[in-house]
A and B are shown apart, each in its own frame.
Chain A
Amino acid sequence: MKSGLMFVKLANPCSAGEGAIYLFNVCLQQLFEIKVFKEKHHSWFINQSVQSEGQLHFATPMDPLFLVLHYLKKADKEGKFQPLDQVVVDDMFPNCTLLLKFPELEKFLHHVTEEKEIDSKKYYKYSKEKTLKWLEKKVGQTAAALKASHVPVGARVQSAAFVPGDQASGDKEEDYICYAHGLISEYLPKELSDDLAKYLKLPEPLTSLSNPPSKKIKLSDEPVEAKEDYTKFNSKDLKMEKKNNKMTAAQKALAKVDKRGMKSIDAFFGAKHKKKA
């Protein structure tokens, strides 16, 4: 019996050298990522047994474009149009060719690529401009979902003592955008995340200069919050003036940001979900 439902390890788009587990449903053309809730000092009772690590795995839908983007960016160094099956190749994670089994994917590639059709075969080339526009929309829809589900996002939610009474009631638009940028960045190479921050006119966190976020990927049992200190920012990112004539609502909201925090997906989970070797 062929179900086409399987777990495979693929390159994590955020840190290319490392793998992450994904769930493919090849027949139904669906991709899921696997996230794990893991906190110290938890165990399960499952019927009449003990399961010592109190982990909870989540399979949630994943946009395959994030995974393909990683390969498109890599291929872009050659600077030419290429068919997709020459772009999505990986010695380290050979299962990446499963991504090519999603014909649906081709419909969405135009969000991040320029394409040419020669003799009814399609050729693609990574487009940074289109990708940033696409990511801006992703950030927008994520910010809207954060708002709808009342996730507290403000950098100062915890420090009510410093907040004037009228602000304590709600988070601001720009807080949602910063938080959403942090979430989306978990699916992007660092460089693209930085470009997106500039494109959205987010303040650049000081900590990223001395402590590159790639380090965040390192396994650790420490609570993730301890590593995140985005409370200090510099504000030297105002060299994008020329784009000011066409600002979106999201950009306008961000233009007046002074200091806000971006959050990562780890805020939802106990720790990184890598298994012990």
Chain B
Amino acid sequence: MDSGDAAAAERQRVHVRPATLRRAAPATLHLLPCAVPRNRPAPVSRFFTPAVRRGPDGLEVSFRGRRLRGEEVEVPPGLVGYVMATEEDGEVLTGPEGKQHFLEGSEKDEEEEEPLERDFDRFIGATASFSRFTLWGLETVPGPDAKVRGALTWPSLAAAIHAQVPQDGD
């Protein structure tokens, strides 16, 4: 990538197609404790899903001969999960994003001196939504100190960090 491309990337905006957020169909997500190196279609419902069992301590399944234990994890309250893909290269981003903020006010039109969307901008849309996913660990369910669980507590803390401070007299 030459420096011209890099400079363009700084100017670029990636616009979210609001309609895709509204009509995104619910998806089934599993977070595996191993790296599968390539992005590609996979017959998950043929091999993985039918093998999932509900045991005395959580869900059980095996993948490539290794036993996995799992648990359903909810998206934090006030948020919704979206699977997003950029329009040209099919890159996929996954993550929960503030629900209420996205589903309102997208039709508001306003006249501006500079348009928000420019020729060189890119677009991204939601291909699916989720409100929970299944978290898997090798042999045991990931414990309370698992990084993912820590990350899921972040939104509530972020709200406090970024809340406006109250007005006062001094």
Q: Identify the A interface with B (CB < 8 A).
A: 1-9, 19, 23, 25-28, 30, 32-33, 35-37, 39-63, 66, 92-95, 108, 111, 133-134, 137-138, 141-142, 144-146, 149, 151, 183-184, 187, 265, 267-270, 277
**Chain B hits for A108, CB < 8 A:** 164
A3 touches which one: B16, B96, B97, B154 (CB < 8 A)?
Answer: B16
Contact B38 A63 (CB under 8 A): no
Contact A47 B157 (CB under 8 A): no
A40 touches which one: B11, B31, B35, B101 (CB < 8 A)?
Answer: B35
Identify 20 residue pairs between A and B in the complex whose beta-carbon atoms are under 8 Å apart, listed by A's number.
A1-B107, A6-B13, A27-B106, A28-B104, A28-B105, A32-B101, A44-B31, A45-B30, A50-B40, A51-B39, A51-B94, A55-B94, A59-B96, A60-B162, A151-B157, A183-B157, A183-B161, A187-B161, A268-B150, A268-B154
Contact B94 A42 (CB under 8 A): no
Contact A111 B101 (CB under 8 A): no
B83 touches which one: A27, A46, A268 (CB < 8 A)?
Answer: A46
Task: Report the minimal beta-carbon distance from B35 to chain A, rounded to whole angstroms.
Answer: 5
Contact A48 B32 (CB under 8 A): no
Contact B36 A137 (CB under 8 A): no
Nearest A residue (CB) for B38: A52
Task: Report the minimal beta-carbon distance from B5 to chain A, rounded to whole angstroms.
Answer: 11
Q: With contacts A138-B161, A268-B153 known, is A43 near B36, CB below 8 A?
A: yes
Q: How far is the CA of A30 from the CA of B45 in the complex (A)?
A: 39
Q: Identify the B interface with A (CB < 8 A).
A: 1, 9-19, 27-45, 48, 83, 92-98, 101-102, 104-110, 116-117, 121, 124, 128, 147-148, 150-151, 153-166, 170
Nearest A residue (CB) for B170: A133
Nearest A residue (CB) for B92: A51
Contact A46 B18 (CB under 8 A): no
Nearest B residue (CB) for A59: B97
Task: Report the minimal beta-carbon distance from A255 to chain B, rounded to whole angstroms.
Answer: 20
**Interface of chain B: mostly helix, strand, loop or mixed:** mixed
Q: How far is the CA of A149 from the CA of B159 in the complex (A)?
A: 12
**Chain A hits for B106, CB < 8 A:** 1, 3-5, 27
Counting chain A CB atoms within 10 Å of each CB, the highest count among B13, B116, B156 belongs to B116
Contact A19 B10 (CB under 8 A): yes
**Chain B hits for A111, CB < 8 A:** 165
Q: How far is the CA of A32 from the CA of B16 in the complex (A)?
A: 14
B166 touches which one: A39, A58, A137, A183 (CB < 8 A)?
Answer: A137
**Chain B hits for A27, CB < 8 A:** 105-106, 108, 110
B35 touches which one: A52, A133, A137 (CB < 8 A)?
Answer: A52
Q: With contacts A28-B104, A40-B35, A49-B39 known, is A145 near B156, CB below 8 A?
A: yes
Contact A28 B94 (CB under 8 A): no
Q: How far is the CA of A234 from the CA of B69 in the complex (A)?
A: 46
Contact B32 A46 (CB under 8 A): no
- Known A4-B108, A25-B105, A146-B160; further 4 A-B contacts with Cβ < 8 A: A45-B42, A51-B94, A54-B31, A146-B157
Q: How far is the CA of A94 from the CA of B158 in the complex (A)?
A: 26
Q: How far is the CA of A1 from the CA of B163 in the complex (A)?
A: 31
A5 touches which one: B102, B153, B161 (CB < 8 A)?
Answer: B102
